[in-house]
């Protein structure tokens, strides 16, 4: 008998007792090489000692502080996130909350205007973020959704052009559609978004999964010459502590005036201590260059070991985010189960896609080990 609601379906029957470096260990002591990072969260691995030490010290000093008072740690983290001196931060606790903040801000800046988002995108499970998540399997059963959301097809410039009207206030987009199947944005589509932004449509980039160094840049939009009006981020920002953030250009600060939004836990000292430790690493010299180097290495390894296999339809990648689309005869659930038997953890995404989100600190030898295991399975 379980006391838990079954919204996650039947869980994988594995209980992990601890993590070390880029490995998880189950009750029997079996080791698993983790190519999931807890779905893009444990980007600095399970032995991020600076983060652990910062959180432990913060627990002793002051675990919680309400947002009624000054919070220097929030200032520090916001400053580290403000990569070009144009953004101010609102802290939340998750990706969906970061997106709710963004959607509320847009409503204030562009009253009564619509928000455009893309088929197979994913922005979260709360009502606003879900209304922007154009996937039937996420939205079904929850009508009425929030009004004012319009959809277009991702990476389809004509569909985008047909969907944009004089009422369009904002566009929310992922640089890689992660949950939807690991589809990176095309350069053409990014350029089209930039052109609409130049016409005054607000550009919200959801970096919840792609941010925090995952693609070899602090934010994935940097690969495409975009400068969003609003950025949302979460997942890897706390390396295990729940942190979400919305960054808005300073010009929009007056719209989020006193009382317009808030959170009890958002920007909590524990979360901020962890996020500061994470960002100190991400912004340190050479770290992101190393991630890009590892991403190139992984790309070669995937080509060498997996491309050309009958089971593999396509390999898509941006940085250390990889999607391996399987041929129709192969079932992703079976591949994941087989991988677990071999001591390898990988994810699924979209329709029959294996998703790899290895920790950014994974070594080339460990990356090779994972790819070779996949080769044996596929």
Ligand X SMILES: Cc1ncc(COP(=O)(O)O)c(C=O)c1O
CB of 42 to ligand X, least distance (A): 14
DSSP notation for 320-344 = TEEEEEEPTTS-HHHHHHHHHHTTE
* Cα gap 266→59, rounded to integer Å: 16
| Stretch of residues binding ligand X (CB under 6 A), selected from 143-151, 159-167, 201-209, 316-324 | 201-209
Q: Which residues in 82-101 contact ligand X (CB under 6 A)?
A: 94-96, 99
CB of 84 to ligand X, least distance (A): 22
Tally of CB atoms within 10 A around 9: 6
Q: Which is nearer to ligand X, 270 or 378 (CB)?
A: 270
Structure token pair of residue 131: 């209304």
Q: Does 37 bind ligand X (CB under 6 A)?
A: no
Q: Does 174 bind ligand X (CB under 6 A)?
A: yes
Q: Does 120 bind ligand X (CB under 6 A)?
A: no
* DSSP structure class, residue 175: S
Contact 267/71 with Cβ under 8 angstroms? yes
Structure token pair of residue 5: 């609601």
Q: Does 211 bind ligand X (CB under 6 A)?
A: no
Q: What is the CA radius of gyration of the chain?
A: 20
Of the candidates 43, 131, 209, 352, which one interacts with ligand X according to CB under 6 A?
209
Q: Which is nearer to ligand X, 170 or 377 (CB)?
A: 170
Using DSSP's 3-state secondary structure scheme, residue 98 falls into helix
Q: Does 58 bind ligand X (CB under 6 A)?
A: no
Q: Does 208 bind ligand X (CB under 6 A)?
A: yes
* Cα gap 348→354, rounded to integer Å: 5
Of the candidates 122, 149, 154, 256, which one interacts with ligand X according to CB under 6 A?
122
* Cα gap 148→163, rounded to integer Å: 13
Q: Does 179 bind ligand X (CB under 6 A)?
A: yes
| Stretch of residues binding ligand X (CB under 6 A), selected from 74-82, 83-91, 117-125, 157-165 | 117-125
* DSSP structure class, residue 28: T
Q: Which residues in 224-263 contact ligand X (CB under 6 A)?
A: 234
Q: Which residues bind ligand X (CB under 6 A)?
A: 94-96, 99, 122-124, 174, 178-179, 206, 208-209, 234
């Amino acid at each position: 008998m379980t006391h838990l609601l079954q919204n996650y379906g039947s869980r994988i029957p594995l209980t992990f007792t601890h993590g070390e470096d880029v490995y998880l260990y189950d009750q029997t002591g079996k080791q698993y090489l983790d190519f999931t990072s807890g779905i893009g969260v444990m980007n600095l691995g399970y032995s991020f000692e600076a983060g652990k030490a910062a959180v432990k010290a913060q627990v002793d000093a002051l675990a919680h502080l309400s947002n009624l008072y000054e919070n220097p740690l929030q200032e520090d983290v916001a400053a580290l996130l403000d990569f070009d001196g144009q953004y101010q931060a609102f802290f939340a606790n998750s990706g969906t909350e970061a997106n709710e903040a963004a959607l509320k801000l847009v409503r204030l800046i562009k009253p009564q205007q619509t928000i455009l988002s893309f088929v197979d995108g994913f922005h979260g499970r709360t009502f606003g973020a879900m209304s922007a998540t154009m996937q039937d399997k996420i939205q079904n059963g929850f009508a009425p959704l929030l009004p004012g959301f319009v959809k277009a097809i991702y990476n389809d410039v004509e569909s985008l052009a047909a969907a944009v009207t004089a009422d369009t206030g904002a566009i929310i987009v992922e640089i890689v559609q992660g949950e939807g199947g690991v589809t990176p944005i095309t350069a053409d589509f990014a350029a089209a978004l930039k052109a609409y932004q130049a016409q005054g449509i607000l550009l919200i980039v959801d970096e919840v999964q792609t941010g925090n160094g995952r693609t070899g840049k602090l934010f994935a939009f940097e690969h495409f010459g975009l400068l969003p009006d609003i950025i949302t981020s979460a997942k890897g920002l706390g390396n295990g502590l729940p942190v979400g953030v919305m960054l808005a250009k300073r010009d929009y600060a007056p719209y989020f005036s006193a009382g317009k939004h808030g959170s009890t836990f958002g920007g909590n000292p524990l979360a901020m201590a962890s996020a500061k430790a994470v960002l100190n690493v991400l912004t340190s010299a050479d770290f992101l260059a190393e991630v890009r180097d590892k991403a190139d290495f992984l790309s070669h390894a995937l080509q060498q070991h997996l491309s050309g296999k009958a089971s593999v339809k396509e390999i898509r990648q941006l940085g250390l985010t990889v999607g391996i689309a399987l041929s129709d005869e192969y079932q992703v659930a079976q591949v994941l189960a087989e991988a677990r038997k071999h001591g390898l953890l990988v994810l699924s995404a979209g329709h029959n896609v294996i998703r790899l989100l290895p920790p950014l600190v994974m070594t080339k030898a460990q990356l090779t080990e994972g790819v070779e295991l996949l080769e044996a399975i596929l």
